[in-house]
Amino acid sequence: MTDLQEAMRIFQARSEAALESWLPAADTPPRRLHEAMRYSVLGGGKRVRPLLVYLTGTALGVAPEVLDAPAAAVELIHAYSLVHDDLPAMDNDDLRRGRPTCHKVYGDAMAILAGDALQTLAFHVLAHGGHPSLNAAQRLTMLETLADASGSLGMCGGQALDLDAVGRQLNLNELENMHLHKTGALIRASVRLGALCRANIGMEQLKHLDGYARAIGLAFQVQDDILDVEGATETIGKPQGSDSARNKPTYPNLLGLAGAKQTAGQFHQQAVQALAALGENGGLLRELADYIVQREK
């Protein structure tokens, strides 16, 4: 077992426990809404965003218990976005993480409400669940970070660009800009949230970490596009070829499969170079960059 695999096991368990503690109990009214929320969040997943919070924070010497709330908050935002992305009015997906999507189990209306409730819960967790060592200025900056990454100039804006791009041929700059918002914004926020848990974090460190996060966010999306072509449905947890079937712009469609793999490698190299300033402390973040471009699901 590699150091990263062990860290993933530990931090995925921590994030799972934190999410479980913040989600309303399934038998608390309104029961069906709370069931849908729990179904959407606790249904597995790689937990890459919480992992980034934990790995960044621990690389900077932050104790894991300080990172639990921001790790849970960013995953709640991610989960809400998946619930809404899967809806018939958006991507109209039937499978997510190898299971029927939320709206297939609970209906469209309840899925919309579940997503809304998960989004607001994320900010409640950040506002009220932070460790006592976090001061008010840190909490406020973290709330601002997550809000900016989630809104029209971040993740939601990227989804809007994605919807507008269906059936159109984007150039490389347009495709990169779309994914910097849709996927990259929340990944960059995850790294920043972990760093902001360090008191008096320097601007130079934040700059290097953001360079790393920007690069792995794009690498993550390129690899997702590659897996849509090469991955098996039972492995990736959603129908293989679903993006191509909807005529969505992807890196393989624009660059070819070999070109997409080369681009993923370039983003990976950018990420590794950005971590040089952290020295040995960035070891697990470098391993995570390797994992992102080598993963099969």
What span, in angstroms and rounded, lies between the C-alpha atoms of 183 and 203?
24
**Under 8 Å between Cβ of 105 and 48:** no
Whether residue 235 is predicted with pLDDT greater than 70 in this model: the reply is no
Supply the pLDDT for residue 249. Answer: 86
Whether residue 189 is predicted with pLDDT greater than 90 in this model: the reply is yes
Supply the pLDDT for residue 241. Answer: 57
What span, in angstroms and rounded, lies between the C-alpha atoms of 288 and 48?
9
Whether residue 205 is predicted with pLDDT greater than 90 in this model: the reply is yes
- Mean local confidence (pLDDT), 150-178: 94
Which residues lie across from 99 on neighbouring strands?
96
pLDDT digits (tens, 9 = 90+) for 166-188: 888 899 999 999 999 999 999 99
Whether residue 154 is predicted with pLDDT greater than 60 in this model: the reply is yes
Whether residue 240 is predicted with pLDDT greater than 60 in this model: the reply is no
Mean predicted lDDT score pLDDT of the chain: 92
Give the domain extent around 208: 3-294
Supply the pLDDT for residue 279. Answer: 84
pLDDT digits (tens, 9 = 90+) for 41-99: 997 888 999 999 999 999 999 999 999 999 999 999 999 999 999 999 998 999 998 89
Please tell me the least confidently modeled range out of 155-164, 202-211, 231-240. Answer: 231-240
Coil, helix or strand for 134?
Answer: coil
- Mean local confidence (pLDDT), 288-295: 92
Supply the pLDDT for residue 215. Answer: 97
Q: How many domains, the chain? A: 1
Supply the pLDDT for residue 281. Answer: 85
Q: pTM value?
A: 0.93
Supply the pLDDT for residue 234. Answer: 60
At residue 157, φ and ψ (nearest 5 deg) are -65, -40
What span, in angstroms and rounded, lies between the C-alpha atoms of 101 and 228?
18
What radius of gyration do the chain's Cα atoms show?
18
CATH of the domain at 73: 1.10.600.10
Buried b (16+ CB within 10 A) or exposed e, 120-157: ebbbebbeebbbeebeeebbeebbebbbbbbeeebbbb
Between CA 79 and CA 81, with CA 80 as vertex, the angle to 5 degrees is: 90
Supply the pLDDT for residue 246. Answer: 65
Whether residue 1 is predicted with pLDDT greater than 50 in this model: the reply is no
- Mean local confidence (pLDDT), 2-30: 95
